[in-house]
């Protein structure tokens, strides 16, 4: 009630007479910028607790979180579910999950932490998701069509489910249709919304007017299932993992790098900056001004007229955050800014902003990293020693 | 090391700008990888195309050093998975590209084939090395990660577009190579898997994003628009440089972005 009262516009506010009648002047209070956004309502999905139709989203997590592509896929499912009543959105997450995914509209969450994307075990994964699908009998299945295992697993699922319609690399979706590129992207092919949908990146918006309830479902059933198949398949699985390796950051293309430190006009000492990159094993990027100054080569430039990067972590040092620069980092998940001006535009974009002199903070960070590394080395050595004794 | 039998599947591609028929780049990578592998271990290799033997794209593969291309003639619209499966039943290693360029581009064919033949499949391969009873594959993962896995044979391997392979064209090879047509033994008009009806249009408009419907008043929408400018994360103003460095380090640790 009080809330309503505050939002009410005075009906007797001043007016101007114009040819078309009275033109009331809106003199409400200016929007309060620091006001916390209204909490979004939970989408009303549980009308009754009886058997409910569901849309299933299957995705791998990356270090305990869903990446943007996976979040878009969950949101797409939530938007489709919202148009009908009585449909729940179930998210089946392969790999561990340490964040709450209610904001992208998941109602129920099943986590199978043993299936990290880093390990190649498609036969076991397929057996387990098939078991979940049989149990839930979802009306639609959505997966992100990506390279961290879901594109692969999704196609295996499609090949194993002969009776169900499917579409891959779906770039446009609504409640009735799906569309995929055809003939190398020169044409577009529409179809009725199929049963299994592998969604391309950026096909759905993650901004929802509601949230899901995101209750974590117990996974007893699934883990016993895993053990069963494990026992059966240990000897017969045709696949074997020999391990994962990460290419040294200097050799990775900037577009592919996972951790980037980037220098702008506020970095005076390039040598310290390069030592920091080495300490963090990060790839090096730069703003246009830093490149124009000759501090870095042109291929390091990030932004509208440079490269677009998708690193999970982007550390912007002495970069003001001009729109042209921000365009290049729109897909970065964690942005950390070091800047001496707390009103620089980068501060609005960054998840963490450290206000202070770049040189001093870089020096301190190099020391802190060295210390942390030696500590974890000591710990490892200790553990080794204890094991050997 | 026993003699391997290798087959690589090639499809007709389209030039991305002119739309002229030509080789499909992804399939050419897979074929070249197969030819190199076959040469290094002295294996037998077959280059296979299902479709029309007069397709003007096929001579491109000859120029890329396929000595001979076997074409299984299937009518357009017939199910090629079944005909390929009958042809490949005794092949130990089947190589394909990641996505075709002409038709559906769905990237499903190798998966349907592996399911039909009931053999394992490894996707995103960058390199292949024969080992004791199987092959070792270097797989592409995003963010500069690579993974090594082994798989027992027979198997289907899908080669990733970033595989470090150089394509070399030679007109002399295109002239000396041959294309041999075979009739398909097992032609079924009815596809084994579900058929989808596609409606195909020229891709003129940008695809529309799926967005949630919001019924807000104009005033609310304007407020949301102005207020959304005001996002941003934690800001640390106070403290010494050492403390600030610790804040960064703990942020990186908390989100598992570093491993020390
Ligand atoms: C058509 C066009 C295309 C462009 N394309 C790109 C592009 O692709 N990429 C790109 O980056 N730019 C691009 N720009 C330029 C862009 O508009 C900005 O000018 C540029 O990004 C600014 O770079 P900067 O942040 O390094 O420098 P500045 O704007 O000078 O910012 C320096 C920042 O460092 C801080 N600082 C200074 N000293 C210190 C210190 N000692 N310690 C801590 N902080 C300090 C300051 O507070 C300031 O915020 C383009 C511009 C145009 C017109």
Task: Check whether residue B10 and residue B58 sit in a common domain.
Answer: yes
Asked if the structure places residue B125 within a domain, the reply is: yes
Task: Check whether residue B169 and residue B228 sit in a common domain.
Answer: no
pLDDT at res. A34:
45
- From chain A, the residues in CB contact with B257 under 8 A are 63, 259, 312-313, 334
- From chain A, the residues in CB contact with B196 under 8 A are 165-167, 191, 194
| Highest mean pLDDT, choosing among A61-65, A283-287, B185-189 | A283-287
Q: With an 8 Å Cβ cutoff, are A147 and B229 in contact?
A: no
Domain boundary among B135, B167, B183: B183
pLDDT above 90 as % of chain A: 49
Q: Given a cut of 60, is residue A47 above it in pLDDT?
A: no
With vertex at residue B212, the alpha carbon angle to CA B209 and CA B213, rounded to the nearest 5 degrees, is 120
Q: What are the tokens at A254?
A: 């900037």
- From chain A, the residues in CB contact with B155 under 8 A are 238
Q: With an 8 Å Cβ cutoff, are A342 and B237 in contact?
A: yes
Q: With an 8 Å Cβ cutoff, are A256 and B144 in contact?
A: yes
Task: Check whether residue B173 and residue B226 sit in a common domain.
Answer: no
Task: Check whether residue B250 and residue B138 sit in a common domain.
Answer: no
Nearest CA to ligand 1 atom 45: A266
Asked if the structure places residue B200 within a domain, the reply is: no
Q: Which residue of B has its CA nearest to A283?
A: B144
Condensed to tens digits (0 to 9), the pLDDT of residues A163-196 reads 888 999 999 998 888 998 887 777 888 989 999 9
State whether residue A241 sits within 8 Å of chain B by CB: yes
- From chain A, the residues in CB contact with B104 under 8 A are 180, 182, 189
CB contact burial A247-283 (16+ within 10 A = b; e otherwise): eebeebebebbbbbbbbbbbbeeeebbebbbebbbbb
Residue appearing with tokens 């082994």: B150
Condensed to tens digits (0 to 9), the pLDDT of residues A258-313 reads 899 999 999 999 999 999 999 998 999 999 999 999 999 999 999 999 999 988 89
Residue A341 CB contacts under 8 Å (≥ 6 apart), including other chains: A320, A355
Rounded distance from Cα A325 to ligand 1 centre (Å): 7
* Residue to mutate, A262, A270, A289, ligand 1, most ligand atoms under 8 Å from C-beta: A289
Mean of the pLDDT values across residues A53-82? 91
Backbone angles phi, psi at B201, to 5 degrees: -130, 160
Task: Check whether residue B15 and residue B118 sit in a common domain.
Answer: yes
Condensed to tens digits (0 to 9), the pLDDT of residues A115-139 reads 999 899 999 999 999 999 999 999 9
Mean of the pLDDT values across residues A325-348? 92
Write out chain A in H/E/C secondary structure. Answer: CHHHHHHCCCCCCCEEEECCEEEECCCCCCCCCCCCCCCCCECCCCCCCCCCEEEEEEEECECCECCHHHHHHHHHHHHHHHHCCCEEEEEEEECCCCCCCHHHCCCEEEEECCCCCCCCCHHHHHHHHHHHHHHHCCCEEEEECCCCCHHHHHHHHHHHCCCCCEEEEECEECCCEEEEEECCCCEEEEEECCCEEEECCCCECCCCCCECCCEECCCHHHHHHHHHHHHHHCCCCCEEEEEEEECCCCCCCHHHCCEEEEECCCCCCHHHHHHHHHHHCCEEEECHHHHHCCCCCHHHEECCCCECCCCCEEEEECCCCCHHHHHHCCCCCEEEEEECCCCCHHHHHCCEEEECCHHHHHHHHHHHHHHHHHHHHHHHHHHHHHHHC
Asked if the structure places residue B198 within a domain, the reply is: no
Condensed to tens digits (0 to 9), the pLDDT of residues B96-116 reads 998 766 556 788 889 999 999
With a 6 A CB cut-off, is A339 part of the ligand 1 pocket?
A: yes
Asked if the structure places residue B24 within a domain, the reply is: yes
CATH classification at residue B96: 3.40.50.620
Q: With an 8 Å Cβ cutoff, are B212 and A208 in contact?
A: yes
- From chain B, the residues in CB contact with A180 under 8 A are 104-106
CA distance A261 to A373: 18
CA distance B203 to B209: 15
Task: Check whether residue B124 and residue B225 sit in a common domain.
Answer: no
Task: Check whether residue B39 and residue B165 sit in a common domain.
Answer: yes
A389 — pLDDT class (breaks 50, 70, 90): low
Task: Answer yes or no: pTM beyond 0.95.
Answer: no
State whether residue B244 sits within 8 Å of chain A by CB: yes
State the average pLDDT for chain B: 84
Residues 75-114 of A with CB under 8 A from B: 75-76, 78-80, 82
pLDDT at res. A36:
47
Q: Torsion over CA of B166, B172, B174 and B175, rounded to 10 degrees?
A: 180
Q: At what angle do helices B109-117 and B80-87 cross, to 10 degrees?
A: 50
Q: Are A255 and A310 in contact (CB under 8 A)?
A: yes
State whether residue A202 sits within 8 Å of chain B by CB: yes
Q: With an 8 Å Cβ cutoff, are A363 and B241 in contact?
A: yes
Q: Given a cut of 60, is residue B62 above it in pLDDT?
A: yes
pLDDT at res. B127:
93
ipTM of the complex: 0.86
Q: Given a cut of 70, is residue A93 above it in pLDDT?
A: yes
Task: Check whether residue B163 and residue B82 sit in a common domain.
Answer: yes
Q: Given a cut of 80, is residue A12 above it in pLDDT?
A: no
Mean of the pLDDT values across residues A368-380? 85
Q: How many structural domains is chain B composed of?
A: 2
pLDDT at res. B19:
75
Rounded distance from Cα A290 to ligand 1 centre (Å): 8
Q: With an 8 Å Cβ cutoff, are B236 and A352 in contact?
A: yes
Domain boundary among B139, B160, B183: B183
Asked if the structure places residue B60 within a domain, the reply is: yes
Q: With an 8 Å Cβ cutoff, are B234 and A256 in contact?
A: no
* Cα distance from N-terminal residue to C-terminal residue, chain B: 43
pLDDT above 70 as % of chain A: 85
Strands (E), chain B: 5-9, 12-14, 21-23, 44-51, 68-73, 93-97, 121-131, 134-141, 145-151, 155-159, 178-183, 199-202, 234-236
B192 — pLDDT class (breaks 50, 70, 90): very low
Rounded distance from Cα A24 to ligand 1 centre (Å): 44
Residue B134 vs residue B19, higher pLDDT = B134
State whether residue A184 sits within 8 Å of chain B by CB: yes
Condensed to tens digits (0 to 9), the pLDDT of residues B1-40 reads 456 899 999 888 877 777 788 888 889 999 999 999 998 9
Task: Check whether residue B56 and residue B110 sit in a common domain.
Answer: yes
Q: What are the tokens at A61?
A: 């997590």
Q: Given a cut of 80, is residue A249 above it in pLDDT?
A: no
From A139's Cα to the closest Cα of chain B, the distance in A is 16
Q: Given a cut of 50, is residue A2 above it in pLDDT?
A: no
Question: Quick one: which atom of ligand 1 is closest to the CA of A289?
Answer: 23
- From chain B, the residues in CB contact with A249 under 8 A are 144
Task: Check whether residue B65 and residue B141 sit in a common domain.
Answer: yes
Residue B250: domain span? 218-254
State whether residue B17 sits within 8 Å of chain A by CB: no
Closest CA to B11 of B1, B20, B23, B21: B23
The β-bridge partners of A337 are: A316, A353
Q: Which of A143-147, A363-367, B40-44 has the lowest mean pLDDT?
A: B40-44
State whether residue A369 sits within 8 Å of chain B by CB: yes
With a 6 A CB cut-off, is A194 part of the ligand 1 pocket?
A: no
State whether residue A284 sits within 8 Å of chain B by CB: no
State whether residue B124 sits within 8 Å of chain A by CB: yes
Q: Which residue of B has its CA nearest to A358?
A: B241
Give CA separation, A56 vs A75, A107, B33, B150, in Å: 12, 10, 38, 31
Q: Given a cut of 70, is residue A88 above it in pLDDT?
A: yes
Residue A308 CB contacts under 8 Å (≥ 6 apart), including other chains: A255, A302, A327, A328, A329, A330, A331
Q: Given a cut of 80, is residue A157 above it in pLDDT?
A: yes
Q: Which residue of B has its CA nearest to A162?
A: B193
For A243, the closest of B148, B155, B230 (CB atoms) is: B148
State the average pLDDT for chain A: 84
Mean of the pLDDT values across residues A342-351? 92
Q: Given a cut of 90, is residue A154 above it in pLDDT?
A: yes
Q: With an 8 Å Cβ cutoff, are B248 and A365 in contact?
A: yes
* Residue to mutate, A272, A298, A339, A347, ligand 1, most ligand atoms under 8 Å from C-beta: A339
Q: Are A156 and A94 in contact (CB under 8 A)?
A: no
pLDDT at res. A45:
56
From B15's Cα to the closest Cα of chain A, the distance in A is 9
Q: Given a cut of 90, is residue A199 above it in pLDDT?
A: yes
pLDDT at res. A305:
92
Task: Check whether residue B174 and residue B241 sit in a common domain.
Answer: no
Q: What are the tokens at A269?
A: 């000492």
Task: Check whether residue B177 and residue B231 sit in a common domain.
Answer: no
Q: Given a cut of 90, is residue A326 above it in pLDDT?
A: yes
Residues 322-351 of A with CB under 8 A from B: 334-336, 338, 342, 347-351
Ramachandran area for residue A48 (φ above 0: left; ψ -120 to 50: alpha; else beta)? beta
Q: Which of A14-23, A135-144, A222-231 has the lowest mean pLDDT?
A: A222-231
Q: Given a cut of 80, is residue A369 above it in pLDDT?
A: yes
Mean of the pLDDT values across residues A19-45? 61
pLDDT at res. A325:
95
pLDDT at res. B190:
52
Q: What are the tokens at A148?
A: 């961290």
Asked if the structure places residue B190 within a domain, the reply is: no
- Residue B148 neighbours by CB distance under 10 Å: 17
Domains and CATH numbers, chain A: 2-25+41-230 (3.40.50.620), 249-388 (3.40.50.1220)
State whether residue A364 sits within 8 Å of chain B by CB: yes
Asked if the structure places residue B124 within a domain, the reply is: yes
With a 6 A CB cut-off, is A272 part of the ligand 1 pocket?
A: no
B178, burial (CB in 10 Å: exposed 0-12, middle 13-18, buried 19+): exposed
Asked if the structure places residue B202 within a domain, the reply is: no
Rounded distance from Cα A288 to ligand 1 centre (Å): 7
């Amino acid at each position: 009630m009080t809330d309503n009262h505050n939002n009410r516009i005075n009906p007797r506010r001043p007016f101007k007479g114009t040819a078309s009648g009275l033109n009331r002047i809106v003199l409400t209070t200016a929007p309060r910028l620091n006001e916390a956004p209204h909490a979004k309502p939970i989408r009303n999905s549980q009308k009754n607790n009886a058997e409910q139709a569901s849309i299933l989203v299957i995705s791998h997590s990356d270090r305990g979180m869903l990446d943007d592509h996976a979040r878009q896929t969950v949101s797409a499912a939530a938007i489709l579910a919202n148009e009908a009543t009585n449909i729940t959105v179930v998210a089946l997450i392969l790999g561990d999950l340490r964040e709450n995914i209610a904001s992208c509209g998941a109602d129920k969450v099943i986590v199978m932490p043993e299936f990290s994307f880093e390990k190649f075990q498609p036969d076991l994964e397929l057996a387990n998701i098939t078991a979940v699908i049989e149990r839930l009998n979802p009306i639609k299945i959505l997966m992100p069509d990506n390279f961290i295992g879901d594109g692969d697993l999704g196609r295996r699922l499609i090949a194993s489910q002969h009776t169900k319609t499917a579409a891959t690399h779906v770039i446009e979706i609504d409640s009735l249709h799906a569309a995929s590129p055809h003939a190398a992207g020169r044409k577009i092919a529409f179809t009725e919304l199929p049963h299994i949908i592998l969604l391309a990146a950026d096909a759905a918006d993650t901004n929802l007017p509601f949230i899901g309830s995101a209750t974590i479902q117990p996974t007893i059933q699934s883990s016993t299932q895993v053990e069963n198949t494990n026992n059966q398949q240990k000897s017969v699985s045709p696949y074997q993992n020999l391990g994962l390796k990460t290419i040294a950051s200097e050799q990775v293309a900037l577009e592919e790098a996972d951790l980037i430190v980037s220098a702008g006009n506020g970095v005076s000492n390039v040598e310290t900056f390069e030592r920091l990159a080495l300490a963090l094993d990060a790839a090096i990027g730069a703003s246009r001004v830093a490149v124009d100054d000759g501090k870095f080569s042109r291929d390091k430039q990030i932004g509208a007229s440079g490269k677009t990067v998708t690193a999970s972590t982007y550390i912007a040092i002495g970069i003001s955050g001009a729109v042209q620069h921000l365009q290049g980092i729109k897909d970065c998940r964690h942005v950390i800014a070091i800047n001496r001006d707390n009103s620089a535009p980068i501060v609005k974009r960054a998840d963490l902003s450290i206000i202070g002199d770049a040189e001093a903070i870089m020096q301190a960070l190099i020391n802190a990293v060295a210390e942390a590394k030696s500590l974890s080395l000591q710990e490892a050595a200790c553990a080794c020693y204890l094991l050997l004794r | 090391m026993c003699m391997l039998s290798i087959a690589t599947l090639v499809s007709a591609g389209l030039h991305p700008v002119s739309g002229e028929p030509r080789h499909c780049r992804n399939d050419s990578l897979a074929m070249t990888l197969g030819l190199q592998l076959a040469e290094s271990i002295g294996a037998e290799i077959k280059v296979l195309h299902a479709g029309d033997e007069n397709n003007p794209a096929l001579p491109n593969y000859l120029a890329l050093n396929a000595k001979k291309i076997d074409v299984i003639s299937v009518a357009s619209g017939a199910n090629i998975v079944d005909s390929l499966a009958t042809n490949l039943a005794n092949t130990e290693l089947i190589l394909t590209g990641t996505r075709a360029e002409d038709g559906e581009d769905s990237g499903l064919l190798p998966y349907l084939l592996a399911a039909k033949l009931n053999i394992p499949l490894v996707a995103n391969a960058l390199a292949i090395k024969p080992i004791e009873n199987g092959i070792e594959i270097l797989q592409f993962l995003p963010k500069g990660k690579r993974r090594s896995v082994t798989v027992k044979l027979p198997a289907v391997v899908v080669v990733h577009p970033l595989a470090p392979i150089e394509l070399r064209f030679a007109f002399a090879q295109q002239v000396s190579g041959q294309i041999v047509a075979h009739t398909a033994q097992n032609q079924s008009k009815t596809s084994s898997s579900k058929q989808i009806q596609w409606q195909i249009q020229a891709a003129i408009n940008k695809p529309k994003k799926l967005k949630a419907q919001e019924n807000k008043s104009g005033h609310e929408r304007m407020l949301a628009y102005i207020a959304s400018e005001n996002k941003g994360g934690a800001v640390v103003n106070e403290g010494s440089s050492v403390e600030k460095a610790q804040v960064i380090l703990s942020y990186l640790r908390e989100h598992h972005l570093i491993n020390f």
